[in-house]
Structure 1
Amino acid sequence: MALQISATNPEQPAVLLDLPWNTQLDEWPAECLVALPRGISRHVVRFASAGPDVVAVKEITERAAVREFGLLRDLHRLGIPAVDPLAVVTGRVDADGEPLESALITRHLKGSLPYRSMFESTMRPSTVKRLMDALAVLLVRLHLAGFAWGDCSLSNALFRRDAGAYAAYLVDAETGQLQQNLSRGQREYDIELARMNIAGELMDLEASGALHPSVDPIPFGAAIVQRYEDLWHELTRESVYPVGKRHYIDRRIRRLNDLGFDVAEMQIERSPVGDTVTFLPKVVDAGHHQRQLLRLTGLDAEENQARRLLNDLESWMAGEDDYVPGDPLGARPEVLAHRWVRDVFRPTVRAVPPELRGEMDAAQIYHEVLEHRWYLSERAGHDVGIEATVDDYVANVLPHVVSALTVQAADESAGLSP
């Protein structure tokens, strides 16, 4: 059987042909390998140079390689954080014509590390907790997409720093199954496996002296179950609110934020008679807020600002007559977004006197008005509306901010600031 490379990119096979496929992976010469930290794997895995890319090569049976390649492509299509599949190599033989195992090739995830490399210097308990949080978030996202992992563990994920937290990526889909929806039993099986695997991995670290003395493997392994359940409950339960209680949506988003989870997109449906709104948060990739806000409105904002503005935009659209239930962004999202910018965003920003804005940009001003609206609505027990919010914000909040900034500037000029 001739060597065959099945790749996602038609240019990929030519680059991969230069690798020594007639040699067992654990005997590949050093000149074609790249020294990067590797996690524990049941198969031989090596990093190699392939043109401009660094790739991970895993020796595995042909059937398993083709299956995992297909699953990784499906996850990539669904926007799930996972390694990027590049190719499957079959028909390998050695110099004597003896068959060799097939290979699965994935792109190395830049900036990522296996968990054992991260524990080379003893990690603080708070950092260990952030790793567990990242893995719980990944598992929730997989389950929402209908993917049963079958072997969730620290070893089968890669971790990449994401501001003050970590993002987890699936690196081994060999035992996975993709379905339309998962049953509660399938999800619970994955969670129980995760609990046992993580506790065992932390025990191994403890035995080697690489675990912080205050970290108890059993409770930390069990903590992922609670973290997962909290996230799953908040992300999958539908809430029905009266139209005049839109601040309840803000309250739920804040609760999700308190769990450390960003609500990047929402599905909002208005009832046929228009008296209630059904709210369901959705999970999307990092950086989604800035890209979507810029695409829909032309507004260029920071990530947190963009998230808040998008939340307000989608809540506002649910109250419009030409909003289409079932479509989270309406029948004509660009038209609705333009109307929101014209009729809501710009008038709100312009209502704030220039002399009271300081160095705040338009997105920050609107964000602060939304914060104040939530506060006033919570206190009043109903949505107070944007116009009343702006009036109260300009009259009762901004003067104190300007006064504080004036005092601070005076202190700094007098050399009194610390």
Structure 2
Amino acid sequence: MELQITATSPEQPASLLDLPWHTPLEKWPDEHLVALPRGISRHVVRFAQAGGEVVAVKEVGEWAAVREYGLLRDLDRLAIPAVDALAIVTGRTDGHGEPLEPVLVTRHLEGSLPYRSMFETTMRPSTIKRLLDALAVLLVRLHLAGFAWGDCSLSNTLFRRDAGAYAAYLVDAETGQIQPKLTDGQRSYDVEVARVNIAGELMDLEASGSLHPSVDPVLFGQAIEERYTALWHELTRQSVYPVAKRRYIDRRVRRLNDLGFDVAEMQIERSPDGDTVTFLPKVVDAGHHQRQLLRLTGLDAEENQARSLLNDLEAWMATQDDYAPGDPLGARPEVLAHRWVRDKFRPTVRAVPLELRGSADTAQIYYEVLEHRWLLAERCQGDVGLQAAAEDYTRNVLGGVRPPG
């Protein structure tokens, strides 16, 4: 049987041809390998240089390789965080003509680490919680897409930090299956498997002295179930909001914030009956909002201020006709953010007279107006515009009246 490379792009086979396919993977020479941390796997896995990129090569049976290759490509089409499947290599033989196992080739996820590498230095409990939150987000997104994982664990996940945000990526889809919609039983099974696996993996770390002494593996294993359940409920509640009823959106965002999650993306679908809003959650590290707000708008604010301002910016962007995440023809976030500063932030701040602001900077003023708008909307059970909120804030909170003009 001749060597055969089935790849996702025409260019891929050429970059893979130079790898020593006629040598068992565990005996590949160092000249082809890249020294990167590897997680625990049932199979032999190596990182290699192929052309201008680093790939992960896993020896696995042909049926399993073909199946996982297809599942990973499906997840890519569904925009689910997972490693990219590049190729399957079959027809491998050694120097004596004896058959070798086929391999699955995936692209190395740059900047990612397996969980054991992250625990080489004792990780703080708060950081562990954020990693579990990221895994809960991944599991919810998989289930929303109809993917039953079958073996959710820290070992089958890669974690990456990007500008303070934590993200989890599926790295092993071998046991998964995609269906139009999962049953509650299928989801519960996945969550139970995750709970048991995570508790066991943390116990292993505890035994090796790599776990913070205050972390209880069993309780942290249970935490993934609690975080998943709360997030699933908040994201799957079917709500159609009356047109222009912004306070309902604000309320949902605040509930996600209270759960410890932020909004990575918001989409509003318009219909004659009202607006349907969907959220994409994310897990962030301290200081993330400050950096993000400064990058997008040039505004320098404290963390809580920045979080509130970014929520307002995200909600406003979702209402703009040229807001199209992922569409190259849509307006870039920086362009929309500049428009928000010009049309929302500055007019609102100017509505509060200088002599009444005291030592508060412009970010604090806008933050306080947003909070006041929220309170007014809850009190009157109706939306309140920024201009009206600023005027009421000036009159009833600061105790002044805006001078005419």
Q: TM-score, normalised by structure 1?
A: 0.77
Paired residues of 2:205 and 2:211 also in contact (CA < 8 A) = yes
Aligned equivalents of 1:76, 1:11: Cα separation in 2: 19
Aligned equivalents of 2:59, 2:222: Cα separation in 1: 33
1:35: Cα distance to partner?
0.9
What is the match of residue 302 of structure 2?
none
The correspondence of residues 184-199 of structure 1 with structure 2, limited to 5 A, is: 184-199=184-199
Paired residues of 2:160 and 2:166 also in contact (CA < 8 A) = yes
Aligned equivalents of 2:298, 2:75: Cα separation in 1: 29
- Assess, with a 3 A threshold, how the Cα gap between structure 1 residues 95 and 348 changes in structure 2: closer, same or farther: closer
1:366-411 deviation per Cα after TM superposition (whole angstroms, max 9, x unaligned)? 77754442233234433222331243356677999xxxxxxxxxxx
Name the amino acid aligned to 1:211: L
- Assess, with a 3 A threshold, how the Cα gap between structure 1 residues 376 and 348 changes in structure 2: closer, same or farther: same
1:23 paired with 2:20, answer no
1:346 paired with 2:350, answer no
1:268: Cα distance to partner?
4.5
Name the amino acid aligned to 1:281: T
* SS state at 2:262 partner: coil
The correspondence of residues 393-404 of structure 1 with structure 2, limited to 5 A, is: 393=393
- Assess, with a 3 A threshold, how the Cα gap between structure 1 residues 107 and 364 changes in structure 2: closer, same or farther: farther
Q: Structure 1 stretch 174-183 or stretch 344-353: which is displaced more?
A: 344-353
Alignment size in residue pairs: 370
1:258: Cα distance to partner?
1.9
What is the match of residue 309 of structure 1?
313
Paired residues of 2:260 and 2:283 also in contact (CA < 8 A) = no
Aligned equivalents of 1:385, 1:115: Cα separation in 2: 46
Structure 1, unmatched stretches of 5+, are 288-298, 318-326, 401-418
What is the match of residue 79 of structure 2?
79
Paired residues of 1:72 and 1:84 also in contact (CA < 8 A) = yes
Paired residues of 1:82 and 1:170 also in contact (CA < 8 A) = yes
The correspondence of residues 10-409 of structure 1 with structure 2, limited to 5 A, is: 10-241=10-241, 245-263=245-263, 264-272=265-273, 277=274, 279-283=276-280, 305=309, 307-314=311-318, 346=343, 349-350=346-347, 352-353=349-350, 356=354, 369-393=369-393
Structure 2, unmatched stretches of 5+, are 285-295, 300-305, 401-405
Paired residues of 2:262 and 2:282 also in contact (CA < 8 A) = no
Paired residues of 2:134 and 2:282 also in contact (CA < 8 A) = no
Name the amino acid aligned to 2:250: D
1:208-260 deviation per Cα after TM superposition (whole angstroms, max 9, x unaligned)? 12111211111111110010000000000023455575313201111112222
Paired residues of 1:268 and 1:314 also in contact (CA < 8 A) = no
1:92: Cα distance to partner?
0.7
- Assess, with a 3 A threshold, how the Cα gap between structure 1 residues 240 and 10 changes in structure 2: closer, same or farther: closer
* SS state at 1:257 partner: helix
* SS state at 1:283 partner: strand
- Assess, with a 3 A threshold, how the Cα gap between structure 1 residues 242 and 18 changes in structure 2: closer, same or farther: closer
Name the amino acid aligned to 1:103: V
Paired residues of 1:59 and 1:101 also in contact (CA < 8 A) = yes
Question: Quick one: percent identity of the two aligned structures?
Answer: 66
Aligned-residue RMSD, C-alpha: 3.7
Aligned equivalents of 2:10, 2:96: Cα separation in 1: 30
- Assess, with a 3 A threshold, how the Cα gap between structure 1 residues 352 and 399 changes in structure 2: closer, same or farther: farther
Paired residues of 1:348 and 1:386 also in contact (CA < 8 A) = no
